[in-house]
Amino acid sequence: MIFVADEGVENYIVERLRSDGHRVLYVAEQQSGISDDEILALAQRERAVLITADKDFGELVFRLRRASHGVMLLRLAGISKEAKCNAVSDSTRRPEDELKTSFTVVTPRPYGFEEYLSDYTYALHLCMGTKQFSDEIPMLNRVVGGTGSC
């Protein structure tokens, strides 16, 4: 699978994904300092899932409705490098078509439920850290064990 990793993603996560056999375009290696819009456009051109630790991409995708081929938002503070790598690697094992149509929040612990959420605001809270969004966003559909898939 192809990923674009924002420069805020730690290099050891990028190396792990590459060792897992993925093609990873790492902004820090190629185009450091480009804007979030340019990063999202790069991922779109490459038909790649964007991996980021920057919540601003949630605003671009949800509020401003920018096109994407999927976003993985890493919310992994306070855990070891190995645990971060494992969490991201595990998240990439989902089917490609599912990843490319989701806004996925990767967290260090499972939320423990797989049912579809009727409360989109809660899912947005997981994705964006706020409850102040409309529940009109069909892209948000579920939270699966440690990964908020939106």
Complete edge-to-edge strand list for the sheet that includes strand 142-144 = 23-26, 2-5, 49-52, 71-74, 103-106, 147-149, 142-144
Mean pLDDT of the chain: 78
Q: Who wins on pLDDT, 8 or 119?
A: 8
pLDDT per position as a tens digit, 24-46: 999 999 888 899 999 999 999 99
Q: Which residues face 105 on adjacent strands?
A: 73, 148
pLDDT exceeds cutoff 90 at 136: no
pLDDT for res 82: 94
pLDDT for res 3: 97
User: Whole-structure pTM over 0.85, yes or no?
Assistant: no
pLDDT exceeds cutoff 60 at 148: no
pLDDT for res 108: 78
Please state, in angstroms and rounded to a whole number, the distance separating the CA atoms of residues 105 and 101: 13
Q: Who wins on pLDDT, 113 or 56?
A: 56
Please state, in angstroms and rounded to a whole number, the distance separating the CA atoms of residues 104 and 98: 10
Please state, in angstroms and rounded to a whole number, the distance separating the CA atoms of residues 120 and 13: 29
pLDDT per position as a tens digit, 9-22: 999 999 999 999 99
pLDDT for res 12: 98
Nearest to 37, CA basis, from 66, 63, 7, 65: 66
Q: Who wins on pLDDT, 47 or 136?
A: 47
pLDDT per position as a tens digit, 62-121: 777 877 888 999 999 889 999 999 999 999 998 898 888 888 888 876 543 333 333 344
